[in-house]
Amino acid sequence: MHEEANSKGKKESEAPNSPKKVKKGITIEFKKPADFKQIYAIGAAGGHSPYDFRIGFYNDTPKMFGDTSEAQVIERQVETEVILSPVAALELSKWLNQHISEYEAVFGPISRAVPKPKREPPKTLGDSTDLRGYI
């Protein structure tokens, strides 16, 4: 959430680790610790209590057991969890909605459809090429 408020109150994106002027001489500096780590996640799950919101970010890995006609198993690895106060969750929601709108204005609507490969990969016995998506 690297943003700076301009004179009209509109937020503008800035690079991480740069000082941020917010209002009336207040500067916010974003710093990353030496052990800072980024993760990529394909999804999120969580919930809330009266006190906080919890969001776990995860990745899925398909597992194949026996004949491909059997039920498929997906291993869901939770990579990290973020715990937010209700106010912070509301601010995150507003921030995400703003940035999704900006993204879609440049790149078009975000589609939930899984893109199809342009050409079929060659099939070999015992591989998982029949699996299209995880679920």
Does the pTM of the predicted model rise above 0.85? no
Cβ atoms of residues 40 and 65 within 8 Å: no
Q: Is residue 48 a part of any domain in this protein?
A: yes
Indicate whether 124 pLDDT > 90: no
Q: What is the pLDDT of residues 52-98, one digit of tens each?
A: 999 999 999 988 766 666 668 899 999 999 999 999 999 999 999 99
CA–CA gap between residue 15 and residue 30 (Å, rounded): 10
The answer to whether residues 26 and 90 belong to one domain is no
Looking at the fold, whether 71 and 103 belong to one and the same domain comes out as yes
Residue 125, domain member (yes or no): no
- Which range marks the domain in which residue 1 is found? 1-33
| 100 and 71 together in one domain | yes
Determine if residue 133 is left, alpha or beta; phi over 0 gives left, psi from -120 to 50 gives alpha, anything else beta.
left
Q: Is residue 99 part of a domain?
A: yes
Number of domains in the chain: 2
Pairing, β 11-13 against β 3-5? antiparallel
The residue ranking higher by pLDDT, 115 or 40, is 40
Task: Please classify residue 117 by burial: count the beta carbons closer than 10 Å to its beta carbon, then call 0-12 exposed, 13-18 middle and 19+ buried.
Answer: exposed
What phi and psi, each to the nearest 5 degrees, are found at residue 130?
Answer: -75, -15
- Mean pLDDT over the full length of the chain: 79
